Amino acid sequence: MTSATYFEDVVIDQLATTPAITVTAAHVELYQGLTREMSAGPGEIPDVLPLCMAIGLGWRVKEPPMAVQAFVALDWKVMKELRVGDTMHTSSRIVSKRPMRDGGLIVDERTILDQHGEVVQQGRFTFLVAKRQKEASA
C-alpha cells in the first residue's frame, strides 16, 4: 500500500521546503494553450501559473504525501511578478487542523519564493484530508 500522511499524522507548525523549478517560456506556452489566458507580454508569466506549479512542487517533499480527498478553499496574494527564467520553490507551514466526521480540514500556509529568496506569492490552502482508520477499512 502507498504510504501517506493522514489527518492524525499532520503536525501543527510542521514546515516543509520543496525543490526548485525554473519557469520557462515552454511552461507559459503550455499554460496559455490550456487556459487561453493570453494577457502575458514577452517574458511575463500569467500570475496563476506559479500557483499551479506550487501545488505540484508541494508533492516533492520527503514526507509521505498528505491523503488529500479534496481541495476546499484558497486565499492567495500576489506580491511580486515572476518572469521567464526565474527559479521558484515553495515553503509550507501547517497552520491549523480541524477534525470532521470523515477526515479533517488542514490549513496549509504556502509561500512561493524566487531565486533571491524573495516572496513572490503567498496564501493559505485548505484541504480535506482522510483519517487513517477510514482508509484502513476501505
Partner 1 sequence: MTDHRRYFDEIELGEAYESPGRTVTEADVVMFAGLSGDYNVLHTDAEFMKHTIFGERIAHGLLCLAIQSGLFTRATAPYATLGFGGLRWKFKAPVKIGDTIRLRAKVVDKKDLDKPDRGLVTLDRTIVNQRDEVVQQGQTDLVVQKRP
**DSSP annotation string for 54-76:** HHHHTT-SSSPPB-EEEEEEEEE
Instruction: Enumerate binding residues for partner 1 (CB under 8 A).
Output: 21, 27, 30-31, 34-39, 46-49, 51-53, 55-57, 59-60, 65, 68-78, 81, 123, 138
| Cβ-based nearer residue to partner 1, 60 or 97 | 60
Q: How far is the CB of 11 from partner 1 (least distance, A)?
A: 21
Rounded Cα distance between 129 and 30, Å, is 30
The strand ranges marked E within 13-67 are 15-17, 21-22
Measured from the CB atom, is 13 or 80 closer to partner 1?
80
Least CB distance to partner 1 at residue 5 (A): 13
Q: How many C-alpha atoms does 24 have within 13 Å on its Cβ side? A: 5
- The residue (of 2 and 11) whose beta carbon lies closer to partner 1 is 2
